Every structure is written in C-alpha cells, then in structure tokens.
Amino acid sequence: MDTATSPPSPDHWRFYRAVWRWHFYAGLFVLPFIAWLALTGAVYLYQKPIDRWVHHDLKVVEDPRHARTRPSAQIAAVTALTRGEVFRYTTPERRDGSVEIGVLEANGRREVYYVDPASARILGHLPDKGTFAGVVRRLHSLDLLGDYARALIEIAAGWAILLVLTGVYLWWPRGRKGGVSTVRGRPGQRLFWRDLHAVTGVWVGLVLLFLAVTGMPWSVVWGKQVNAWANGQDYGYPAGVRVQVPMSHQRLADASTPTWSLQQAQLPVSSLPHADHAPVDGHGGHAGHAGHEGHEGHGGGALGDLSAQPGSIGIDAALQRFDGLGLAPGYSVALPRGPMGVYTASVYPEDLAGQRVVHLDQYSGRVLLDMGYADYGALGRGLEWGINVHLGQEYGTVNRLFLLTACAAILMLCLSGAVMWWKRRPIGSMGVPALPRQQRTVAVVFALLCVGGALFPLVGASLLVVGVLDFIVSGGWGAVRQERD
C-alpha cells in the first residue's frame, strides 16, 4: 500500500521498504474490520433517534400530559403477565417516553417490558438489549460471537494503530509535493488511488488512532486488565468502586449496563433493621409493608423483587428519593437482591458531568454511596472522556457529525487501499512489497513493532505469529531483489 510517487533517498529506502511491508500486512488484516467498525459505528452514533423511530410504538406514549401512575402499579401490571422476577426499572429520558421494566423470565431470558407511565398499560416487550440500537452495538463489538470475537477486536485495534503509524511514515513528504495534500491523476489510474489513500489517511489517521485507543477498554484482555488496575488506584475511580465502604459480592453489572469504569463495581450492603425500629418512608409513616405495594403474593428470588424483604421502603419511596437527589432523567434503578441488597440508580447521559451512580439502603433509604464523574481520579476522568467522545456523546451534535464524517473517510481509506492494492498486485501474486537487501533493517523494524506490541498482549502475539511466518516464507529475511514501481 504505497503512498509515494518516487523512492526516498538511498539512506531511507531500506527502512521505507521494511515499513511498507508491515503497512501492507496491517492493511491486509485490518481493513475489513475497520470498514465494518466504521459502518456500524456510524449507525450507532444516532442510536436514540433511530430507536425512537424503529420502536415508536414501544418507546413513545400517545399523551404524556396525564398524571403518572405509581411505579409499583406499573411493575404490578408487568408481573401480572409474567412469572419472572423484576430486576430493573428505567425512567423515561423524555416526557413522552415509556417506562422500561427489566424482567428475568422463568426460562432464564431477560426481557424488557415497555409501559405507559400514565395508564400503566403494557405497550409490548423485547429481549434485553434487543432494540435496533442494541443489535447494532452488539454487531459493532462483535459481541454476538462471544469473547473470541472480542479478542479479534482487540487485535484489530492494535493493528489499526500500527497501520496509522506506518502510514504516516510512508506518507512523509521527503521533498515530494505530489500525494502529500493533493490527489493527482484520474480514477482509472493507480496514481489517483494511491494519492487518495495517502491524503485521506493522513487527515483521518489521527481520528482512527483515537478511535482505536479509546476502543481498547472494551477488549477482552487489555481492557479487563486496565479496568481492574484503574479500579485499584486513587487516580482511577472512586473509593466506593473499591472497598472503602462495606461491599457485597454482587456487582452493578449483574442487573444494569454500567459505564466501562464501573464494570468492576460491587454493590454496598443494606443494614438489617431491628424489629422495634422499622424504617420510615418518605411520607413520615412506617414502611414495614411498603415493599408489598401492588405486589402482594409475589415471592422473591435470585434477583429479588419489590416484596422480597419485609421492611423495605419499596420502589415508590426509592424513586422519590432518587428524584430528590437530582439524577438526570432516564436513570435506571436496580432492585435489591436479598436481605442485604440495595436500590441502585445509575445514569450515563451525554454530558459526563451528569454521570452518576447512587446506592440506597433498602430499609432506611439512606444514601450509602453517591458517585459521579467529578469523583473519579485523573486517569478515570481521562478514560471516561475518551469513551464518551468515542460514542459520539460528549459534545452532542458536533461530536456526532465529526465522527460521522470520520467514518465516511475511514470507509474511503479502506476502499482506496483495496483498489490501489488490486491495481498494483502482479497476476497470481499477493503483491507483498519486496524486502530490503539489508537483513538487519527488517529485524530492527520488527523489533520496534514488538516493543509496541508488548503494551497489548494479543496484538504482540499476533505480531510474532506474522513475523515468524514472514521470516519462514521469505527464506529468513535474506537478500531479496528490490522491485521498483
């Protein structure tokens, strides 16, 4: 995937050939992944308006002006239709939005029921993460294929970083003017596609590098290790994510979809009330039976429900408490699981300043932990900012339009690279760029790449595999006759 119109000076030629060879390998392996990620990522940038359009009957209510029924009544309407356990209640982000109630069905599947908050009428249901946007996100991350696919994403992101860095080296002018900032030739010529690839790549390369790095937190090996490490440091995430407050073995991720920073977060524990000191609800009365609101006779289970524990303040009082704390609209509430469980509200709006997780004691309604973006350390804030920008959320419309343009440019980069390779490859050959004559040069370039690969274990392992294969096929990186374009 050459980007120059004439060879560099003799002093640079040997390194140029070695770098070009690895740039070719990186493009060969990663361009299909990059194209797929750019295409699905562009769609996901507009997940909310697309979901409102695709699932309008479920997500939008007809007349939002009516007074709203109590959350317990809405949950009772759902449990009247299903034998499953309610584990999550999500408030509408917009006034004309429906309430979303997550249920663990008897067969083990998780379903989301959409309810009109004014009438408690059930509008329908979908599998958890089964909306159009949910499917697109799973396609984007290859989550549908499990950890194996997530490993491929990690490798692809690392090779994308390699692709950008080697591409910048190949693009570097070295006294040339053509193919640096302008595109020469006509679409039928290889020169046109080479210049288009080079010019597009150098402008979109920085964005691609940013997306590759900020996409790494979701990777199966590197992401998990960095997440665990960040959660154990003061400059990472808040004390409550770790062990400075009494914690259970339950995790926030079991009942909700937390932001990346809270994937390791455990839940605090509620204090069991004494029989003669029943907790007081938000209206000044005793809450000994509040947990049974609209739910009589429905027993608790593995995920718990409103009536699982006598003495719980109940979902209505919990929602009142969360509203009083000023959480952004659209927050989700995970219901207590077991006698030590807590009510947990979490919300991750586009503005990072509104990101927040609050845990309430299920008996007293006392705030056990209230943490947000401002509570994170420098590392945590930096990682969360990068993730939010990657998702097109932090700067609203400007962020989305910028990334949409970048996705289009990345697709053009992939197309131009493929066309350029097709036009230059010899018939019956892969068209791998020839090795330089100096064997040591190839080894030095490979060693430098492996140093970078050490930062990302799966990427480093794949580099070693490709390097060994290249070494064997090329006859030990021996002297190879240079080919000129």
Token pair 């080479």 in the structure block, residue = 194
The one-letter code for the residue type at 135 is V
- Mean pLDDT value across the chain: 82
From CA 337, how far away is CA 239, in angstroms rounded? 22
From CA 124, how far away is CA 222, in angstroms rounded? 39
Max CA-CA distance within the chain? 91
Which tens digits make up the pLDDT trace of 165-218?
999 988 988 777 777 888 888 888 888 998 999 999 989 999 999 999 888 887
Kindly provide the residue ranges of all beta strands, DSSP E only, lying in 42-193, ordered along the sequence.
85-90, 99-104, 110-115, 122-127
pLDDT at 332: 95
Token pair 């990334």 in the structure block, residue = 403
Task: Identify which of 118, 116, 122 has the alpha carbon closest to the alpha carbon of residue 67.
Answer: 118
Kindly provide the residue ranges of all beta strands, DSSP E only, lying in 25-184, ordered along the sequence.
85-90, 99-104, 110-115, 122-127
The alpha helices in 178-270, defined as continuous H runs, are: 190-215, 222-230
Give CA separation, 350 vs 329, 347, 387, in Å.
12, 10, 11
Tokens, residue 254: 């079991």
Kindly state the helix (H) or strand (E) to which residue 48 belongs, with its residue range: helix 47-54
The one-letter code for the residue type at 445 is V
Half-sphere exposure for 257 (CA within 13 Å, toward CB)? 8
Which tens digits make up the pLDDT trace of 53-79?
999 999 999 877 778 899 999 999 999
Which tens digits make up the pLDDT trace of 415-429?
999 998 888 887 777
Among residues of the chain, what percentage have pLDDT more than 70?
84
Tokens, residue 447: 């060693």
Token pair 């990682």 in the structure block, residue = 383
Tell me: pLDDT of 281 over 80.
no
State the pairing for strand pair 85-90/99-104. Answer: antiparallel
Residues 6+ apart with CB under 8 A from 425: 431
pLDDT at 302: 37
Residue 270: count of CB within 10 angstroms of its CB: 27
Report CA torsion sign: 31, 32, 37, 42. positive
